[in-house]
Structure 1
Amino acid sequence: MGFISADALQNLHKYAYKGVDKSPLSKYVLNPFWTWFVTLWPLWVAPNTITLSGLSIVFLNFATLLWYDPTYLADKGGVVMPNWVYFSCSIGLFLYQSFDAIDGKQARRTGMAGPLGEMFDHGCDAMNTTLEVIMASQALNLGRSWWTVASQIATLANFYLTTWEEYHTGELYLGVFSGPVEGILIIIAIYAISGVYGPSFWDTGMLTFLRLTNVPLINQLPDLPLNDAFMTTAAFGVAYNLQASYRNVRRAMLAAGKPTVQPLLLLLPFVVSAGIQVFWLVHPHYNDSALINSALFVPFLCAWGLQFAHQVGRMILAHVTSTPFPVWDWMWVWSLACAIDANLPLLADRAPIIQTSEANRAMLVYLTLAISFGAYGRFCTLVINDITNFMGIACFTVRKKDKDGNWQGSVPHSEEKKAS
């Protein structure tokens, strides 16, 4: 112990998961499937093992994509991947969603429900978020573009909003249309469509696709590509989620007699972190090269995603331990220094100090990736170690059976179906 304070560890006993899911699709279609699916898993399989298995499938999908398209160009650069890769991404994401949905059910079956599962579940979700942005943007034929950057910002913003809302309200709220349910199913469909028609399908104009190019008045509208139209619609979704999350937070603050505007200030850490990353990307084209147009774009996004996972991981830890909301992140200093170095031609009319060549910039980007991985890995290791030691549990091991043949801390086997 040592990373989490003694008082914060005591607060773990007060934690209880609360969730609301308003999705009819989840209630009437997916949840019955998940309730059946969890019964296929033996009681000796730990919930966190299921969660990690789902993330491992996504890692495999990601590795496969980079194997066939290592420079992240998709059809735009003449790289044509086998169709089965997109189908595997579709199946992989469906399995990830299913595994992510049943880990909580398995936790209740085995008596392992608690704050560690909450931390582990959200941590895997945070890493999956960036990986799916990269893969989905490739499937949409966006590749190295500002649309992919916008997708990263929008997706991370949704995740941050959900975590911010849960911290202030004490419950995870999923509306009639939410990212973890309908949003994931849409991405699954995108992968499947790209598997049938290829990523170039998404460059088709929306009016052309709908056969409206000869309809008077309508044909005067811009024939926006399907991928651009999808991204534009997603932007409105982020705006809607922002006001919906704040409405829930405001209601909770009023009920508790607390200020309703102050929570909005805690959205600034995300704005600052995203702003620093974009600042690095928009640097002048020194030596006729730009980070967003290079093969370093994917490792850059991965480093960004790991820093984000660390950021929201600390938010979730603050939630389960009832400690103050984390505001400062030391990785900002490193990323800002890199961004300033890249922008020296604009800021000081001089060449960058480090990023003077593609080789130097590659070294810096991969070093940033390594530091981001190390920081997040250290956080996960220390938090898991503190919680497991304090609560007397193991991360990937289910508690032993008692003398009556039941798992310690779980419901009796006769109640297993009810609990699941």
Structure 2
Amino acid sequence: MLTLLGITFSCFFLASWGSVSSSLIMLSLVSLLGLCNHFSLTGNLSFLSTNVSALLILLSCLLCFLSLQCTSEVKSKFYVTCILSLGLFLLLAFSQSNSLMFYIFFEASLIPTLLLIVGWGYQPERLQAGTYMMLYTVGASLPFLVLLIWQCINCGTMNMIVLGEVSMAYSGLLSFIVFGAFLVKLPMYTTHLWLPKAHVEAPLAGSMLLAGILLKLGGYGIMMMSMSFNFFMSNASWVLLSLIMWGGLLATMMCLRQVDVKALVAFSSVGHMSIVAAGLMMDHTWGVLSAMITMVAHGFSSSALFCLAYFSYSKSHTRNIPYMKGMLVLYPVMSFWWFVFCCINMAAPPTLNLLGELSIVPVLWNASFSLALTMALMVFFSASYNMYLYTSINHGSNSSYLTAGVPLKSSWLQGLLLHSIPLALILKCNLFMYQTNG
């Protein structure tokens, strides 16, 4: 954290992109080396050491570096500082054992994101997108803040692990208040309207970090608060779970009628995050495993799809899918990466996404046949919209709008390659089993 804080300030005063890049790579490699060797810091009253937080910190460091590498905007001091400060807030949020400090950094991460959208967005509607994001997320989290303070005062501690040991079991309306703050962040269908607007108006770095890391704050918050409040499944929780799964199915079906490529990827994120929310709310070993795997896999695959959408936009100067067709003839290398990441996003074997989707099937089948059927339909329509996305952009006669494109940069291709390498974590699945040393 001190290293990331130091390079954030040095970047603001020196604007040295080389030092920022090498420092982020160093932090990512150290995180990955420690994670693979099960090295963990000793838990104390301030910081929590779990493999969940280690995986998400690794995801944060890597995507902060990749978002800077893949963007072609002028890397001004303020632009890079916004990205690095967002990475610092995320690192602090993922490593906090103090529940109140977790809430503070959870909300503080919205400030750099809002600055990225408003400052470097593409259209005047970016102000409306930023307003939607702040109203939805902050409005849903304020009742949770009141409940969290009451719980900490009642139990006499703010440590999340100690709260789980001394607090009574809760359900019903309290679960709606607590989970609502994080389900809006994921987001859950019916509270998702801010996400497509934010993605469409955000610059590339904003879309990558929003889809790759910020949505995972919602899943991480559900996991930690379920432990702190000792929630159990009640009738109200089953209603919420049914809404999450049905909304995920509707979101995947809506992908088939999108014409904006960024909006399509944003709606696909809503469908994938419904799997995360369902796995965490059911509080089953396989459900939590599925949620963790899906969070990491979706973080890299969705970020790569937004990169490809931006690269295709630089060729065609439009995000309208019918005007982007025929790239396979003119840009075969980029079409190859479209094929790879569409296959990853549809959970084709042997990707990490497939393991995440299959892990939740036994839990849903054991709970209800209708939930398992809904999941099966989500898998089918997920394959459908990814095939639609790939064929619409790459197949057919080339569009006349593709003639004025800029060549692919080596840094862009390197960024796409680095997005695909972490998905090899499927070879070490024990990293995703929840363990704590707090």
TM-score of the two chains, using structure 1 as the length reference: 0.34
**Structure possessing the higher relative contact order (Cα contacts under 8 Å, 6 or more residues apart):** 1
Q: Which has the larger radius of gyration?
A: 1
